[in-house]
Amino acid sequence: MGKKNRSQIVEEETVCRKTISGVFKIFFDTPLSPEVVNQVFLLSFPPASTSWVLSLDGTWLRRFGVIMIYWNQTTGECIWWSWEKSESYLALGTGLQAVVDQVGIEHLPTGAVSDWKGSIVSGVASYLGNIPHQRCLAHVKRDLDRLLPKHSPYQATLELRKIGHQLLQVKTDKDKQAWLTLLSVWEVFYGHVLFERSTPNNPTKTKRRWWYTHGNVRRAFRILTKDQDHLFEYLSHSEIPNTNNTLEGINSDLKAKLRNHRGMKADQQFHFVSWYLTFKKVKTKNDLRKLWDRWKRLKKPNPATVFVT
């Protein structure tokens, strides 16, 4: 789980690569499921008078699918993870149902934070009810930086980018009103660019008759105006953060380790992630002993499946 890859271990331990692969094979073959890990390390929750917030996000394994992680933002621990083909409503429904089963009806989260993909929004509403759902402002800023270039020649683009960055500085209702005023002023001065159209120079070479000239500006403006209330849930609910940076940090570290151990097959990558999230729960040597004891019991053959011929 450190920075060393297999090549470095081979060199330091003076063994061949095949031997190292054989040593780690058993871990790839028998990872621990989140259900088993939660049996070893019981989930913790704040007192009944204190609510907790669910943070959910995915780590893509390129074309192999996405690993969804469901994180307790309040206590800083992983509740569930799963490997899905996509972030579809069906896939998220399976994960969210697993979260409900693990925490129990009496410990359901009272808030959520996500990157606001449509399937996530629908899934949270369906399985967790009408709870406050904060749109992650770090994701909003990232999308705005992609759509609104820093060195754009258009003043409208630069001004909207600046307003978008100021969203992260909103701490009070007064700041919110000031920010909304800035956005309204931008629309008064530059709103016309949202409706400017372009037409092809040679209509015979394309089927498109026209398109919006500043399509990315339209998309950025829509991000800042659609479902606007969910950009500021954290102002009304102090327990909800305005970003899911804790989970983002986990994802960033995880991606760095996957790059360091590049070359693993898709299922090996998922099993590596499973061990990574499992070890996130290990705090003491006693925790590690409990984990290994449970893992060794899982590796033993079930007598009911042994047939004598």
pLDDT, tens only, 250-302 = 999 998 888 888 888 889 999 999 999 999 999 999 999 999 999 988 866 44
Give the pLDDT score at 15: 84
Using 70 as the pLDDT threshold, list the residues of the chain that sit under it.
Answer: 1, 3, 47-50, 299-309
According to DSSP, the β-strands at 111-114 and 133-135 are: parallel
For 89-167, strand residue ranges (E) read 111-114, 133-135
CA distance 268 to 229: 41
- Domain boundary assignment for the chain: 137-242
Q: What is the pTM of this model?
A: 0.88
Question: Are 160 and 221 in contact, with CB atoms under 8 Å apart?
Answer: yes
CA distance 54 to 66: 19
Phi, psi of 67 (to 5 degrees): -100, 115
